[in-house]
Chains A and B, each alone.
Chain A
Amino acid sequence: MRFTDDVDELREIARQLRIDILTTLAEAGSGHTGGSLSAIDIITVLYFSKMNHSPSYDKTVDRDRFVLSKGHGAPALYVALAHCGYFDRKELKTLRKINSILSGHPYAPSTPGVEVSTGSLGQGLSIANGMALAGKMDNRRGYVYCLIGDGEMQEGQVWEAAMSSAHYKLDNVIAFTDNNGLQIDGRVKDIMGIEPVHEKWEAFGWDTVTIDGHDIKAILDAIERAKTISGKPSMICARTVKGKGVSFMEGKVKYHGVAPSPEELEKAIAELAPA
């Protein structure tokens, strides 16, 4: 794999990864489509541009780390890891199947490149903080990235962790919220309103920006900006569309936890074909 800052190249990688997510989920027959598609542009920028990481690094190397707090977005992480060479792309076909290295939600002991187990929502930012504290103690340069869902922000632990990052001045934590507006039972604002998200993070002592989470250039810039912030953690609130890239899935609650059928897969791949 190689790293790039080229927006078109990253856009192309994200396009391929979307196809892989859909193909992988269709093969699995179940899994979380909508939230994987809303997060994949951010994950693409992290794994193919901004993060200092490599499958060949051993655990002790001073490197960047990523914690997928919204663990149900696992397919998005897995396709990125596969493309980066953490395991063979053929493994993607085994997602959610018996004896696979790819569990329905990230299970660290069995998957190369997965730092921690997630799936029970709300825990990832605390874990990222722990990694960041260790990094500070050892004078390491590595950043810890974390991705949180908007529904996930209803978990109290997220706000415990938000306080901790700020209290310990963890400027090596760069987090994203995937604000796709939807959760399982409906729209976030109808189920349990979380707004104003931007102001909340700011009030919790975070350097906060809000961007379009599908604009590759904006994601690149936001990360570069976050790296210049000192004495504070950085939150990048990403406005996203659940199911992004597949017209009939976009903004649909239904595709939260449903894999595409073979026909839907075919339609989706046709939509994602290069123009």
Chain B
Amino acid sequence: MSANQKKSLRDAYGEAIAALGSVDPDIVVLDADLSGSTRTAKFAAKYPDRFFNMGVSEQDMMSTAAGLAAAGKKPFASSFAVFATGRAWDQVRQSICLSRMNVKIVASHGGISVGEDGPTHQALEDIALMRIMPFMNVVVPADAHEVVAVVNAIAKIDEPVYVRTSRDKFPLVLPEDCRFELGRGTILRQGEDVAIIACGYMVSQALDAAERLSGEGIFAAVVNMSSIKPLDTGLVSKMARETGAVVTAEEHSVTAGLGGAVAECVCQTDPVPVIRLGMEAPVGQSGKPGELLDHYGMNSAGIVEAVHKAIALKKEPVHNAKTI
């Protein structure tokens, strides 16, 4: 696996769901006139009778998915992340979550790396919108390999799940046979000075940052926290306790996403500084994905800076003080 290899998460999803279609005949796929972009077209071509294009009507799509689930199907519904979570929020809430329906929402075009389509199409709030949703699970895979593991894992779970994929190609950082379990984060790199907890694209950046920091004599642990809800609170607490400083990194609003979830956990279990890296600007803008990520500090340099801040705030951990 070369660090230079890249693949878009939506491509991985299209392949994964089409493959899963042959394993489980109850799987049905819905889309709202974006099947080419979300890559559900792959499934549609293979299983036309199990694919429902609902037209440009995300609200209708989410409630229809709930009805299919009520009658025993296993629906996977797709659109862009802004529409799937924002346009149809109330339908996801009532038809799916408050009815405890087994509907999977796999939305592409998460984050600023959507690029040229600009602010209206860049989902910077989707994690927050789905994280607050009752009974909803929220997953942000780090790379194309993890997408496959996620799709296979959630297909076996009788609960609603939101999965964010990407438009852009992300570096492949996990092994092809990586495993995924809801509620489990993975330590990708050990380190005792600070823990970088990241999701999605920022996992690759966290690994780069950790490498650069080691040159400065700072040893950063890196955690892939693809399962944002349920959060691996055990692992978050352990990292906070063992390193005494946490940095979170996500391609999402700095408010109420992964950083919010980690901070909520750390402040109650092992209060240590938590520096959250995310979109500080309220909205993005058009541009090339790479340009935008750099412009808004969503890169390894941004993480290095956040780590410096976290280390500057680091105090003697309380549990050490006790043993003195």
A→B interface (CB under 8 Å): 59-60, 65, 67, 107-109, 115-120, 122-124, 126-135, 137-138, 144, 156-157, 160-161, 163-164, 167-168
Decide yes or no whether B67 CB sits under 8 A from chain A: yes
Give the Cβ gap from B66 to chain A, nearest Cβ, in Å.
5
Say whether B94 contacts A117, CB under 8 Å. Answer: yes
Tell me whether A126 and B91 are in contact (CB under 8 A): yes
Q: How far is the CA of A128 from the CA of B64 in the complex (A)?
A: 7
Residues of A within 8 A of B225 (CB): none
Take A133-B67, A164-B54 as given contacts and tell me if A60 and B72 are in contact as well, using a CB distance cutoff of 8 Å.
yes
Residues of B within 8 A of A122 (CB): 59
Is B95 a contact of A164 with CB atoms below 8 Å? no
Whether the Cβ atoms of B65 and A130 lie closer than 8 Å is yes
Q: B9-42: which residues lie under 8 A (CB-CB) from chain A?
A: 28
Majority DSSP secondary structure for residues of A touching B: helix
Contact indicator A132/B60 (Cβ below 8 Å): no
Question: Considering the complex, which residues of chain B in the window 48-68 have a beta carbon less than 8 Å from any beta carbon of chain A?
Answer: 49-50, 52, 54-55, 57, 59-68
Which of A120, A124, A137 has the most B CB atoms < 10 Å from its CB?
Answer: A137
Nearest A residue (CB) for B94: A120
CB distance from A131 to the nearest CB of B (A): 4
The 9 closest A-B pairs by CB, nearest first: A130-B67, A126-B63, A134-B71, A160-B60, A160-B57, A127-B67, A130-B64, A130-B68, A117-B98
Q: Which of B54, B67, B98 has the most CB of A within 10 A?
A: B67
Query: What chain A residues lie within 8 Å of B62 (beta carbons)?
Result: 126
Which residues from A are CB-within-8-Å of B57?
A: 157, 160, 163-164
Chain B residues near A117 (CB-CB < 8 A)? 94-95, 98-99
Q: How many Å lie between the Cα of A160 and that of B91 in the bound state?
A: 13
Q: A117-B94, A133-B67, A160-B54 are in contact. List 13 more A-B contacts (CB 8 A).
A: A59-B72, A116-B66, A116-B70, A118-B94, A123-B91, A127-B63, A130-B65, A130-B70, A134-B70, A135-B71, A157-B60, A161-B63, A163-B57
Task: Give the shortest distance, in Å, between A167 (CB) and chain B (any CB).
Answer: 8
The residues of A that contact B67 with a CB separation of less than 8 Å are 67, 116, 126-134, 144
Residues of A within 8 A of B71 (CB): 65, 130-131, 134-135, 138
Within 8 Å by CB of A120, from B54, B60, B90, lies B90
Tell me the complex Cα distance, A22–B99, Å. Answer: 27
A-B contact count (CB 8 A): 114
Partner of A137, one of B50, B63, B91, B100: B50
Is B73 an interface residue, CB under 8 A from the partner?
yes
Tell whether, in the assembled complex, residue A157 and residue B66 are in contact, meaning their CB atoms are under 8 Å apart.
no
Interface residues of B (CB under 8 A from A): 28, 49-50, 52, 54-55, 57, 59-73, 75, 90-91, 93-95, 98-101
Q: Give 9 A-B contacts (CB < 8 Å), ordered by A residue.
A: A67-B67, A116-B95, A119-B94, A120-B93, A126-B63, A126-B95, A135-B71, A161-B63, A163-B55
- Of the candidates A117, A124, A127, A168, the one having the most CB atoms from chain B within 10 angstroms of its own CB is A127
Contact across chains for B63 and A123 when beta carbons are under 8 A apart? yes
* A127 and B73 in contact, given A107-B98, A117-B98 (Cβ under 8 angstroms): no
Nearest residue (CB) in B for A162 is B60
Q: Are B100 and A109 in contact (CB under 8 A)?
A: yes
Q: Provide the residues of chain B in CB contact with A156, threshold 8 Å.
A: 59
List, in ascending order, chain B residues with CB within 8 A of A115's CB: 70
> Which residues of A sit under 8 angstroms from B54, Cβ to Cβ?
160, 164
**B95→A160 contact, CB < 8 A:** no
| Residues on the A chain within 8 Å of B28, using CB | 134, 137
Question: Which residues on B sit within 8 Å (CB–CB) of A128?
Answer: 67
Cα distance A132–B69 when bound, in Å?
A: 11
B104 to chain A, nearest CB (A): 14
Complex-state Cα separation, A164 to B57, whole angstroms = 10
Out of B49, B55, B66, B93, which one reaches A127, CB within 8 Å?
Answer: B66
A245 to chain B, nearest CB (A): 30
Complex alpha-carbon distance, A107 and B97, angstroms: 11
**A109 contacts which chain B residues (CB < 8 A)?**
98-100
